[in-house]
Amino acid sequence: MPETTPSLSLVILCYRSEDYAREFVARTIEILDETQIESYELILVGNYTEGVPDRTPEIVRELAAGDPRIRCTTEPKRGAMGWDMRSGLEIARGDYIGVIDGDGQMLVSDVAKLYAMIRAGNYDMVKPFRITRGDSLTRRFISNVYNKLFHLTFPGLQARDMNSKPKILSRDAYKKLDLVSNDWFIDAEMMIQARRLGFTVGEIPTAFLGLAGRRSFISVRAILEFLGNMVRFRIREWRR
């Protein structure tokens, strides 16, 4: 790996993406090259559930071996999406640190737009908010209710759509965070801490694509976790 610090570290969550990881990484590199972002590293999170057939770890290791700009983590999972995200963020070296899901629902082109936005120096964090969605009516309803509940529970946050990605933070802002969530609540936890720390948050509109027949990992259990975590973190914020 180059010894110089990359300007941008982009963490890509690849859980059980298998061959689609190749396509997503190729598209990401294409976008970064087209927008002349040269100083970057991609961190592929290919952590896996023991005992579950999954070729993702070997695929992301192969991608990392073939390109010095790519690194990966392929550990047995000790948590859900939040643990995966934290494991990738922890090894990011860039001056700016971003994270995106690698399932293709979020626009990779937003990475370039948000990176330019945060480099202008006016924001601690930048992110998109979804104005169109290609997922199911049920998912859209749940997301709308969730975001409204979030703003009622944590008033004053000048941001919409808590779970949208890519999110990009300056390294200084990231170092102020103390993320602990192991589950799907980690995006919300990041926004809760941004609210408490007084981060300036910039947003751009985006589209949210469908999964094209691939499986979504959002479940009823994940929704209940969201609600329970919202209550717990609200109590935690009151005690600070």
**All structural domains of the chain:** 8-239 (3.90.550.10)
Torsion, Cα 52 55 58 62, to 10 degrees, reads -160
Residues 93 and 5: beta-carbon distance below 8 Å: yes
More confident residue, 236 or 84: 84
> What is the pLDDT at residue 74?
97
What gap in Å lies between CA 133 and CA 207, rounded to an integer? 6
| Single-letter residue type at 228 | G
| Single-letter residue type at 81 | M
Does residue 214 have a pLDDT over 70? no
Residues 8 and 40: beta-carbon distance below 8 Å: yes
Does residue 94 have a pLDDT over 80? yes
> What is the pLDDT at residue 1?
43
What gap in Å lies between CA 11 and CA 39, rounded to an integer? 14
What gap in Å lies between CA 139 and CA 221, rounded to an integer? 14
Query: Positive or negative, the Cα torsion across 214, 92, 172, 112?
Result: negative
Does residue 205 have a pLDDT over 70? yes
> What is the pLDDT at residue 148?
84
More confident residue, 209 or 59: 59
Does residue 196 have a pLDDT over 90? yes
More confident residue, 166 or 209: 166
Residues 134 and 208: beta-carbon distance below 8 Å: yes
Mean pLDDT value across the chain: 89
> What is the pLDDT at residue 85?
98
> What is the pLDDT at residue 47?
97
Does residue 216 have a pLDDT over 60? no
Instruction: Of 206, 121, 203, give the one whose Cα is nearest residue 159.
Output: 203
How deeply is 122 buried, as exposed, middle or buried, from its count of CB atoms within 10 A (0-12, 13-18, 19+)? exposed
Burial 38-49 (b: 16+ CB within 10 A, else e): eebbbbbbbbbe
Stretch 22-35: mean pLDDT, rounded? 97
> What is the pLDDT at residue 218?
56
What gap in Å lies between CA 126 and CA 167, rounded to an integer? 6
What gap in Å lies between CA 200 and CA 175, rounded to an integer? 15
Give the predicted TM-score (pTM) of the model.
0.89
Place of tokens 């749940």: 142
Phi, psi of 214 (to 5 degrees): -80, 160
